[in-house]
């Protein structure tokens, strides 16, 4: 089927689990209650995605405060009581990060229980997002169908991507027998990112510098920001050997796209890539959005893909 749908990964936490509409929101539960709450929230989002008709579902990252922090919390050698302020994404904004104070070591599986649980509760294609290789092979062995590496900084450090970034990505996917993906966006819809985008001019051509290297790599799918962005769609012609997740849902606005708007973004992509390689997706994580807005955006995404499928099926 053409124009299958997925999301970049994260979804809002229910208000009983964490403060809504906030990145890095602290948990509202603790201990065993927290684990039970994360599982309940995962069930809710699997069901919401299935009901909306999303083809490749995720656990909505309900067990993680943030896609990076959620992993680091379970690693030895990192002191969470000692925070360091540092600029990230080439000093676009400052974040308080935990400090490495000893040898970094994985204590045990981190996301395995989450994925075991999600796998037991959905028969849809299941995807997980990781900030690095960490435990990718373990998760693939549990039946995860797509492992996606989130690389939002690939759009910022373009020389590094060419010099060693794509090589690191190749290393990350080594030995994986499932589908692999890389997500490269312009960031969550938060103020520093929105302000940064305003400095990028009338055409955003960052992808152009890294796509040839990515196309030469063994990565299977590439997830991009296209909705409401100034990325020229023609750049995806540089990804001639890849499946492409086209961001057709803007995460920087609470306004819900119409199916026609979603269809139009995906249709623009068909000028430069065959429909069989095009997936409908969100630009980035939906975590900071109000919960009802996120649900409506899932539905809009699926409706838009269906609309275009119908439009093109007769041709
Ligand atoms: Zn993103």
Within 10 angstroms of residue 261's Cβ, the number of other Cβ atoms is: 18
Per the domain annotation, does 12 fall within a domain?
Answer: no
The verdict on residue 169 lying in a domain is yes
Per-residue pLDDT at 172 exceeds 90? yes
Task: Determine the distance separating the centroid of ligand 1 and the alpha carbon of 32, expressed in angstroms.
Answer: 30
In a domain, 172, yes or no: yes
- Cα of 51 to ligand 1 centre, how many Å? 24
CA of 67 to the centre of ligand 1 (A): 10
pLDDT at 244: 98
pLDDT (tens digit per residue) in 69-105: 888 888 999 999 999 999 887 888 888 889 999 999 9
Q: Write the DSSP string, 138-203.
A: HHHHTT--EEEEE-GGGGT-HHHIIIIIHHHHHHHHTT--SEEEEEE-S--S-HHHHHHHTTS-SS
For ligand 1, the distance from its centroid to the CA atom of residue 201, given in whole angstroms, is 20
* Structural domains in the chain (count): 1
What's the CA-to-centroid distance between 186 and ligand 1, angstroms? 6
Q: With respect to residue 77, please indicate whether it lies within any of the assigned structural domains.
A: no
Ligand 1 centroid vs 189 CA: distance in angstroms?
Answer: 9
301: in domain: yes
113 part of a folded domain: yes
Mean pLDDT to the nearest integer, 273-295: 97
CA of 276 to the centre of ligand 1 (A): 23
Indicate which CATH number applies to the domain containing 283.
3.20.20.210
235 in a structural domain? yes
Query: What spacing in Å lies between the alpha carbon of 143 and ligand 1's midpoint?
Result: 24
Neighbours of ion ligand 1 (CB under 5 A): 185, 284
* The pLDDT of residue 314 is above 80: no
Report the alpha-carbon distance of residue 213 to residue 167 in Å, rounded. 9
- Domain that residue 207 falls in: 31-71+109-313
Inside any domain, residue 114: yes
């Amino acid at each position: 089927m053409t124009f299958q749908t997925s999301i970049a990964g994260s979804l809002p936490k229910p208000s009983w689990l964490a403060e809504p509409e906030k990145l890095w929101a602290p948990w509202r539960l603790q201990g065993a209650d927290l684990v039970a709450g994360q599982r309940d929230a995962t069930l809710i989002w699997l069901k919401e995605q299935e009901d909306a008709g999303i083809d490749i579902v995720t656990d909505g990252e309900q067990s993680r405060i943030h896609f990076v922090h959620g992993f680091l919390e379970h690693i030895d050698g990192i002191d969470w009581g000692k925070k360091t302020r540092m600029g990230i994404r080439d000093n676009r904004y400052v974040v308080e990060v935990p400090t490495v104070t000893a040898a970094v070591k994985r204590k045990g599986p981190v996301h395995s229980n989450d994925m075991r649980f999600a796998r037991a509760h959905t028969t849809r294609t299941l995807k997980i997002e990781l900030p690095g290789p960490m435990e990718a092979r373990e998760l693939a062995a549990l039946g995860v169908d797509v492992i996606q590496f989130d690389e939002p900084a690939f759009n910022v450090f373009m020389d590094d991507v060419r010099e060693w970034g794509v090589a690191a990505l190749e290393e990350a996917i080594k030995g994986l027998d499932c589908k692999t993906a890389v997500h490269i966006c312009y960031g969550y819809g938060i103020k520093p990112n929105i302000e940064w985008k305003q400095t990028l001019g009338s055409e955003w051509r960052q992808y152009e510098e890294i796509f040839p290297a990515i196309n030469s790599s063994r990565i299977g799918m590439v997830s991009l920001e296209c909705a409401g962005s100034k990325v020229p769609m023609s750049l995806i012609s540089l990804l001639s050997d890849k499946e492409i997740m086209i961001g057709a849902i803007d995460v920087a606005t609470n306004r819900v796209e119409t199916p026609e708007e979603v269809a139009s973004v995906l249709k623009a992509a068909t000028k430069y890539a065959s429909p069989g390689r095009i997936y409908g997706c969100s630009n980035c994580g939906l975590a900071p959005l109000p919960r009802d807005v996120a649900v409506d955006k899932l539905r809009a995404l699926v409706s838009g893909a269906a609309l275009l499928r119908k439009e093109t099926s007769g041709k």
